[in-house]
Amino acid sequence: MKKMLTGSCYCGAATYLVPDEFLYAAYCHCSNCRRTTGSAFKPFAGIERSKLVATCSSDALQMVGDVEGNDTHCATCGSLLYSVVREGAYVHVAMGTLVDAPAIRPAHHIFVGSKAPWHQITDDLPQYAEHA
């Protein structure tokens, strides 16, 4: 039986379930991820979109973008929950919204070519100017 992970926004209004079957994980330093998180980077884990299930009402979610590519936030507190990517086939779960610890850990840094100039990467993970 697969382990299910719970995810939630800051205020608890927007929730989801996702199996602990992530395919990849990374730290993204692109300007879009920085702006949507308000941080130097977004730690995310990728999985097939069909595997993530919102456990809240659709009114609790605010989608910025379109069906095939968006950032999904809590409509109340604004927390970024996940991003729909790759023509709608995958979601990049914002790892900070996971209540339960996933088995996967970020394996590299992407889009370091546009990282915040005030942030210094201090780990030994591989770094890529754009995608890995």
**pLDDT 10s digits, 13-57:** 999 999 999 999 999 999 999 999 999 999 999 999 999 999 999
* Alpha-carbon span 83 to 60, nearest angstrom: 16
pLDDT average, residue stretch 71-89: 97
For residue 76, give every residue at least 6 positions away whose Cβ sits within 8 Å of its Cβ, in sequence order, or none: 9, 11, 13, 14, 60
CA distances from 103 to 10, 20, 44, 100, 124 (A): 22, 7, 13, 10, 20
Dihedral sign for Cα 99, 101, 107, 108, please: positive
* Alpha-carbon span 122 to 131, nearest angstrom: 19
Q: Name beta bridge partners: 45.
A: 25, 93
Residue 2 has pLDDT above 90, yes or no: no
The pLDDT assigned to 99 comes to: 97
The pLDDT assigned to 66 comes to: 94
* Alpha-carbon span 115 to 129, nearest angstrom: 9
* Alpha-carbon span 5 to 16, nearest angstrom: 8
The DSSP symbol for 3 reads: P
Which pTM does this prediction carry?
0.94
The pLDDT assigned to 130 comes to: 96
Contact between 67 and 84 (Cβ < 8 Å)? yes
The pLDDT assigned to 17 comes to: 98
pLDDT average, residue stretch 76-81: 97
